[in-house]
Amino acid sequence: MSVLVWIEQMNGQAVASSWEVLGKARQVADDLGAPLVAVAMGADINATAELARQYGADLVLTITSPVLENYRLSAYAAGLRRAIEEVEAVVVLTSATTRGRELSAAVACELEAGLAPDAVDLRVEADKVVAVRAIYSGNILTDVTFDSPVQFASIRPRSFPMPEAGEAVAELQPLDLGVNEDQVAEKVLEVKSTDTGEIGLTDAKIIVSGGRGVAADPVKGFAMVTELAQTLGAAVGASRAAVDAGYIPYRYQVGQTGRTVKPDLYIASGISGAIQHLAGMGSSKVIVAINKDREAPIFERANYGIVGDLYEVLPALTAEFKKRLK
Amino acid sequence: MKIVVLIKQTPDTAELPKVAAEEVKSGTIKATMVINPWDEFAAEEAIQLAERFNGDAIALSVGAPGAVDALKHAVAMGVGSAALVDNASLRDGDIWATAALLAAAVKAQGAVDLVLTGKQSVDDNSGTVFVGVAGKLHWPLLTNVIKVREIADGVVTVERLVEGGQETVSAPLPAVISVAKEINEPRYPSFMGIRKANKASIPTLSAGDLGVVTPANKTQWTNIRKPEVRRTQVNIIGGATVQEKAAKLVDALLAEKVI
Ligand SMILES: Cc1cc2nc3c(=O)[nH]c(=O)nc-3n(C[C@H](O)[C@H](O)[C@H](O)COP(=O)(O)OP(=O)(O)OC[C@H]3O[C@@H](n4cnc5c(N)ncnc54)[C@H](O)[C@@H]3O)c2cc1C
Ligand SMILES: Nc1ncnc2c1ncn2[C@@H]1O[C@H](COP(=O)(O)O)[C@@H](O)[C@H]1O
């Protein structure tokens, strides 16, 4: 019996939210009195496996194979299944990234096991895991209890704090994937990285967003948003109105039909605070609103507000932060 | 080419905040029910692919009798035919049972080449049912697809969005594809389309008709509740000049230790 966590790797690096899951899984494993096992898969995973040892796993399974070079669901699902069998996992956790979500689901379905997708909290009750999910686009919460012997959950990024790295005691145990290329239906023909080195929205601790309020000069407006973001080491976000107007691509959209984010600090500039926008960022720790309309609904959810013109406020903030963060 | 598109009926997103915990518990949602917005992209793609490859598009849904309206919306957009699978045997969030019913309904359509689905439902928010459908059918799954490049010689080639990048992937048919919103602009139903949809006969199938014994639920929803409303008292930063306001805000944020 064990608790198993998949450590996702992308472009040769572990995905940070995997560590948040491993940190929480430590507590789940302790509560269940079970060992904590991490599994890393890929063509080259040495660095990730080493980090998994430092972030608290009792055992690290490594599955290396050229078949795992590019992520493909069927190949990775075969690997995760191997790992589950090897350590007799009763709780299987992944981060709820695009991949983690589908991977946990594919294996849970195959094993006819219960799954809590995109869970925002976890606890142990009577030797079983109870997950919490936000449904109805964040308007309802529900506990998810399990009736299956093996329990799967994918965990929304930033639901749990990053664990502290410690002394590496875990052993590394290589496992055979047992799948060859002919058995994998999906063929990856081309990979284009859109990774421009900018900070991703889902993992960001700070987000600076722009909305339709930049309409007078969208290029200048988003340049100001970006400059403040860069000064703070923050990610850039946007409202749907800004995306629909073509000021910025869809992948920056925060909200019900965009990304759900939970940064420590969310700075909304020129965003009115429609419910669909709030659905994506309302659980941010501290919300700052910059808006020229004191009556804008965003001020009802914000902790701090500046009533003013974003074209003046954003550069002033950037200048002030530059002074202080030197 | 036979293309199936999976359509769910979900509450109008504008009314989601009004959905009460009691309604979710009892399964009687009072909100206006519409086609799940993400599934409009799947329906649009099914219509376009059917035109492009001279095929048929069929919409399927697992739902209550009223869900027939969501199927009608798909037919009004241009999907050729539709069938509803009665969900009387299902409980909330029963992902695998929903998937088992949908997979059986897909099989009942004969030789289907492609199943298209939305990215997620705005009520269950699981983004998982298509994983189950692919799993039950033992077909390959390609998620988050933003372009169907080619379908030829029994192979579908797509572009899909992944975190940090975009990839071109192929898989043998039959396959399941979930689409992302970048894939197309869903059309509005035309007047003629709406007339056609109103006349269309949409059969209702039961689990029994499909020969499916719905698997026992593996999870339960308990303690269904509204999230605590965050009560914040906004601190409007005052000051004579914008610089002064900026300085005060920076002070406050540094004190909050969020920078
Ligand atoms: C099904 C559905 C899904 C949706 N999903 C999303 C979603 O995922 N994300 C999302 O964001 N929205 C979503 N929306 C849209 C949402 O309802 C709002 O229309 C949108 O959030 C508004 O964007 P905005 O705040 O940028 O624009 P507006 O509401 O137009 O607000 C602009 C604000 O800028 C202020 N302003 C103007 N000029 C200045 C200036 N110079 N300086 C300072 N302030 C200024 C104005 O006072 C105003 O408050 C969705 C809607 C629907 C129906
Ligand atoms: N009851 C259903 N009937 C038909 N399709 C569904 C149903 N539930 C989910 N789907 C499809 O699966 C996708 C993902 O839904 P979900 O896993 O609930 O987020 C949706 O966008 C639909 O295309």
- Indicate whether A148 and A229 sit together in one domain: no
- Indicate whether A177 and A247 sit together in one domain: no
- What are the DSSP calls for A223-281, one per residue? HHHHHHHHHHT-EEEE-HHHHHTTSS-GGGBBSTTSB----SEEEEES----HHHHHHH
**Facing A285 at nearest CB: one of B161, B171, B258:** B258
The pLDDT assigned to A118 comes to: 96
The pLDDT assigned to A145 comes to: 97
Q: Which of A134, A135, A316 is nearest to A224 (CA)?
A: A316
Q: Is B92 part of a structural domain of the chain? A: yes
Helix (H) / strand (E) element for A78: namely helix A73-87
What is the value of ipTM here, to two decimals?
0.92
Q: Is A227 part of a structural domain of the chain? A: yes
Q: What are the pocket residues of ligand 1 if the criterion is a CB atom closer than 6 Å to any ligand atom?
A: A 211-213, 239-242, 253-258, 270-272, 274, 276-277, 280, 290-293, 296, 309-311; B 13-14, 37
Cβ of A265 within 8 Å of Cβ of B16? The answer is no
Domain boundary among A128, A152, A183: A183
Q: Is A199 part of a structural domain of the chain? A: no
Q: Which amino acid is at A87?
A: V
Q: Which residues contact B126 (CB under 8 A, 6 or more apart)?
A: A117, A118, B93, B95, B120
Q: Which domain holds residue A314?
A: 206-324
Relative to the alpha carbon of B68, which ligand is closest? Answer: 2
Q: Which amino acid is at A14?
A: A
| Chain B residue numbers touching A106 (CB-CB < 8 A) | 131, 134-135, 141
Residue B92 — very low, low, confident or very high, per pLDDT cuts 50/70/90?
low
Q: Buried b vs exposed e over A297-306: b needs ≥16 C-beta within 10 Å?
A: bbbebbbbbb
Total domain count, chain B: 1
Kindly report the pTM of this predicted structure: 0.92
Q: Are B35 and B72 in contact (CB under 8 A)?
A: no
The pLDDT assigned to A196 comes to: 66
The C-alpha atoms of residue A233 and residue B48 are separated, in whole angstroms, by 43
Q: How far is A221 from chain B (nearest CA, A)?
A: 17
Give tens-digit pLDDT for B52-70: 999 999 999 999 999 999 9
- Indicate whether A176 and A278 sit together in one domain: no
Nearest protein Cα to ligand 2, atom 6: B8
- Indicate whether A151 and A277 sit together in one domain: no
Q: Is A269 part of a structural domain of the chain? A: yes
B129 touches ligand 2 (CB under 6 Å): yes
CB atoms within 10 A of CB B54: 8
Relative to the alpha carbon of B97, which ligand is closest? Answer: 2
CB atoms within 10 A of CB A244: 12
Could you tell me the two tokens for B61? Answer: 């849904």
**Facing B128 at nearest CB: one of A105, A257, A313:** A105
- Indicate whether A167 and A227 sit together in one domain: no
Q: Is A298 part of a structural domain of the chain? A: yes
Q: Is A41 part of a structural domain of the chain? A: yes
The pLDDT assigned to B231 comes to: 77
- Indicate whether A171 and A215 sit together in one domain: no
Total domain count, chain A: 2
Q: Which atom of ligand 1 is nearest to the CA of A293?
A: 47
Q: Is B133 part of a structural domain of the chain? A: yes
- Indicate whether A156 and A254 sit together in one domain: no
Q: Which amino acid is at B245?
A: K
Q: Which of A19, A149, A290 is nearest to B234 (CA)?
A: A290
Could you tell me the two tokens for B117? Answer: 């689905």
Q: Is B11 part of a structural domain of the chain? A: yes
Q: For an interface test with A, which of B23, B128, B142 has the most A Cβ atoms less than 10 Å from its Cβ?
A: B128
- What are the DSSP calls for A277-323, one per residue? HHHHHTT-SEEEEEES-TT-THHHH-SEEEES-HHHHHHHHHHHHHH
Q: Is A73 part of a structural domain of the chain? A: yes
**pLDDT < 50: residue spans in chain A:** none
- Indicate whether A40 and A155 sit together in one domain: yes
Q: Is A284 exposed, middle or buried (0-12, 13-18, 19+ CB in 10 A)?
A: buried
Q: Is A114 exposed, middle or buried (0-12, 13-18, 19+ CB in 10 A)?
A: buried
Q: For B85-122, what is the HEC assignment?
A: EECCCCCCCCHHHHHHHHHHHHHCCCCCCEEEECCCCC
Q: Is B251 part of a structural domain of the chain? A: no
pLDDT (average), residues B74-94: 90
Alpha-carbon distances, residue A21 vs A171, A209, A220, A265, B38 (angstroms): 20, 27, 39, 21, 28
Read off the CATH number of the domain in which B138 is found: 3.40.50.620
pLDDT (average), residues B181-199: 96
Residue B228 — very low, low, confident or very high, per pLDDT cuts 50/70/90?
confident
Phi, psi of A298 (to 5 degrees): -60, -30
Q: How far is B40 from chain A (nearest CA, A)?
A: 13
Helix (H) / strand (E) element for B151: namely strand B141-152
For residue B34, pLDDT beyond 90: yes
Q: Is A197 part of a structural domain of the chain? A: no
Domain boundary among A141, A168, A183: A183
- Indicate whether A125 and A236 sit together in one domain: no
Q: Is A80 part of a structural domain of the chain? A: yes
**Facing A312 at nearest CB: one of B227, B242, B254:** B242
CA of A233 to the centre of ligand 2 (A): 37
Higher pLDDT, B228 or A174: A174
Q: Which domain holds residue B68?
A: 2-205
B2 touches ligand 2 (CB under 6 Å): no
Q: Is B238 part of a structural domain of the chain? A: no
Q: Are A259 and A279 in contact (CB under 8 A)?
A: no
The C-alpha atoms of residue A18 and residue A24 are separated, in whole angstroms, by 10
Helix (H) / strand (E) element for A104: namely helix A98-110
Q: What percent of chain B has pLDDT over 70?
A: 99
B139 touches ligand 2 (CB under 6 Å): no
Read off the CATH number of the domain in which A289 is found: 3.40.50.1220
- Indicate whether A24 and A123 sit together in one domain: yes
- Indicate whether A240 and A117 sit together in one domain: no
Q: Ligand 1 pocket check: which of A225, A228, A248, A272 to mutate, most ligand atoms within 8 Å of Cβ?
A: A272
End-to-end C-alpha distance for chain B, whole angstroms: 55
Angle, CA of B249, B252 and B254, to the nearest 5°: 110
- Indicate whether A26 and A128 sit together in one domain: yes
Q: Which residues contact B201 (CB under 8 A, 6 or more apart)?
A: none
Q: Are A123 and A129 in contact (CB under 8 A)?
A: yes
Q: Is B248 part of a structural domain of the chain? A: no
